Amino acid sequence: MISYKNQDLFYLSGRLAVVLGGSKICRWSSLPPDIIHLISTKLPDLSDRVRVRAVCKTWHSSVSVSDPSPRLPWFLSERVNWDDEILYYSLSSKQTYKIHCQKQILANFLGTAGSFIFCCQDGYPESVALLNPLNGLEISLPAPKDFEVLGVVSNPLQDDIVAVSGSETFTYGIWMAFMRPGEEDWEILSWNIHYKQGVCLYHEGLSYINEYGEDTLIEDAMTRELVASIPSPKSFHLSSQHLLEACGEILLIFKNNASDRLQDFGFEIYQLEEASGNYQWVKIRSIGNQVLFLNYIGGFSVRDSKLPGFKGNCIYFQDYDSMSNRVLCWHDLENGTTEALPNFWGGRGTWIIPNLG
């Protein structure tokens, strides 16, 4: 049962009924289209909307899968086999499902760009593309010539520029490249920072580069002029770090593993503050009503007001449990607890806002 203010939805023996005002029962076949549409806007998971559209012709015509109302992110995971199946995990149902994609998926998922996956063909690092796994739309991109792509480092929900980080095969330096819509090649920036301890971000014309233990550099992405250089924070038991834009703020996130138990996972979050041209990292204990979704590199945030039934001040991410199995996790920053999400049976993947349009 899914509860709302004035109506409850019940799945009863293959029928869907709506209880209005707690007393009068109206059969689904006679519901007005505007009521059906109202119900659909309260379903944040795209898979629920698809099921509602399958009830009958009236429901199908009244419910749009391209409605801009809030949608829960899915976690897309690596292929099931060598054909056309990939996995997705639904936060709404806490279940893993298969997607039969129209395109053959033989690729690594390297991040998200809008409703697209940025992917690189297995064995062919020079072949990169944006793919919408739900409608099969594929946008081929020119491959960066000088480095191997690691992941997307621009905000996938806001920026119209796709920015990626990459590594040189022999020097282990991290590079950044970005591309505007309609361009035919990547604009490449280069830094000699450590392969495993360096992270970068592109946002609103600036590139941010943080190498653990060194200064954080802020540069103009077009002119490569240094805007600021500030000391980088340090963290105890550092296992990984993320640099991302979240609701207009630049966040540096350290994930700490005191042991291999999920209960001992913790996060330290620093917010970049600027006053009269002076920048500094300030440690914060709360992200308010935001929910962070961390990819292998980068990620994005969504306000809890846009995720019905979800609380803010928490982080969703992927890691390993004590048995070295990949798990999806939920961390509550308020009380410091970490839990594994149930029924996940995929591999490495990326968070995405699903869209059939």
Query: What does the pLDDT look like over 255-278, one tens digit per residue?
Result: 988 777 777 888 999 999 988 888
Q: What is the pLDDT of residues 272-297, one digit of tens each?
A: 998 888 899 999 999 999 999 999 88
Give the span between the Cα atoms of 214 and 328, in whole angstroms.
31
Decide: 268 and 212 in contact? Cβ < 8 Å. no
Decide: 230 and 279 in contact? Cβ < 8 Å. yes
| DSSP assignment string, 156-187 | TTT-SSEEEEEE-TTT--EEEEEE-TT-SS-E
Give the confidence band of 340 by pLDDT, cuts at 50, 70, 90.
very high
CA 161-162-168 angle, 5° bins: 135
Q: What is the mean pLDDT of the chain?
A: 78
Q: What is the pLDDT of residues 27-70, one digit of tens each?
A: 666 778 777 777 777 777 777 777 777 777 777 777 776 666 66
More confident position, 22 or 95: 95
φ/ψ of residue 41, rounded to 5: -70, -15
| pLDDT at site 122 | 59
Burial category of 128 from C-beta neighbours within 10 Å (exposed 0-12, middle 13-18, buried 19 and up): buried
Q: Around Cβ 240, how many Cβ atoms within 10 Å? A: 18
Which position has the token pair 């690092």?
A: 125
H-type alpha helices, the chain: 33-41, 46-53, 57-62
Give the span between the Cα atoms of 263 and 271, in whole angstroms.
25
